[in-house]
Every structure is written in C-alpha cells, then in structure tokens.
Amino acid sequence: MPEDFAFTINGRAQTIRTEPERTVLEVLREDLGLTGAKYGCGEGRCRACTVLVDDKPVLSCVTPVKKIQGVVITSIEGLAQEDKLHPVQEAFLAEGALQCGYCTPGFVLQIVSLLRHNPKPSDEEIFDWLNPSLCRCCGYPGILRAVQRAVAAGKEAQ
C-alpha cells in the first residue's frame, strides 16, 4: 500500500505518496521528473544510478524509497550552483571526458563524493573508488584525466 515519504531533494523539501518498495531511481525519474540518474543494470553493478544521500553515494536502482525517509538527496541536477558548474563537472567538460555520456552523472557524483572525503586521493585510491563504476564506451582514460584535473583544481583552490 502507498505510504507518505518526506525528504529533501536538491535543496527542496519533497513529499510523495507511493509504494515503499519502489526504487529511489524510479521515483526520481518517473514521479519527480529528475532523469539525470540513469537506469543501467537494476542490480547496483554499474553505478549509473548514483545519487548522494546525506553526502554519501547511494545506488538508487537498488534502494527502496522507504529507506530515504527524512534524508537529504543530491542528484546530478542539483550539483551545479545556478550556472556555475561544480569543479568535477568543469573537469569533464574541459577534458571532453565522455562519449555517450550515459554513465557521466553517476561518475561525476562518485568523484564528487570521493573528493569531499579525500581531496588529494592517490591513483590507487582513485582506482579503488571508481573501479565499480561502469563506462561501456570504455572512456576510462578520459575519466581519469578529468579526475586528475579536478584534483589539481582543488589543490589550486587551497
């Protein structure tokens, strides 16, 4: 039976009434018009569905909506501040670090989360963190270049 769920999404308070077993991904995409998080596998193995929940990456395709009562969600649509892109988005744009781009929102949010916890990750830490994320165009070298650019931009900012 449908239940009420209240949470914050991209800085806005939101209440929805829906089946508790529906995935967060489906609710974002079908009920809230937020299509930036993508369906890629439905089994939490490609990370195209990544959103940030209370600043941590969550795989929305395997997370039921009942788990997000009262949390703060950031989806890719909420990352840029008005017209100002997040440095990780800037880095993807500058490097042209995408081909089809379907995995990009998930990668961007995973990298944002990594750099928030660890602004100067080693290559090993980057590899560990990003290895589960899938880019089927196999644009990993470009994505790595974007991460390194974002890390360098962060260092400059300090």
Residues that bind another protein (CB under 8 A): 18-19, 21-23, 26, 29-31, 33-43, 45-46, 48, 75-77, 79-80, 85, 89, 92-94, 96, 98-105, 108, 127, 130-144
51 DSSP 8-state letter: E
Tell me how far, at minimum, the Cβ of 125 lies from another protein, in Å: 12
CB closer to another protein out of 82 and 156: 82
To another protein, the closest distance from the beta carbon of 113 in angstroms equals 16
- DSSP secondary structure, 80-145, as one string: SBTTB--HHHHHHHHHT--SS-TTHHHHHHHHHHHHHH-SS--HHHHHHHHTTS--TT--HHHHHH
Alpha-carbon span 77 to 36, nearest angstrom: 6
Look up residue 31 and give its DSSP letter: I
Neighbours of 136 (CB within 10 A): 12
Q: Which is closer to another protein, CB of 108 or CB of 151? A: 108
Closer by beta carbon to another protein, 5 or else 92: 92
Cβ 76 to another protein shortest distance, Å: 3
Nearest distance in Å: CB 27, another protein: 9
Reduced DSSP (H G I as helix, E B as strand, rest coil) percent helix, strand, coil of the chain, to 5: 40, 20, 40
Nearer to another protein, 7 or 40 (CB): 40
**What is the nearest approach in angstroms of another protein to the Cβ of residue 9?**
13
Dig out the tokens for 94 from the structure: 């500058």
Query: Of the two residues 38 and 115, which places its CB atom closer to another protein in the complex?
Result: 38
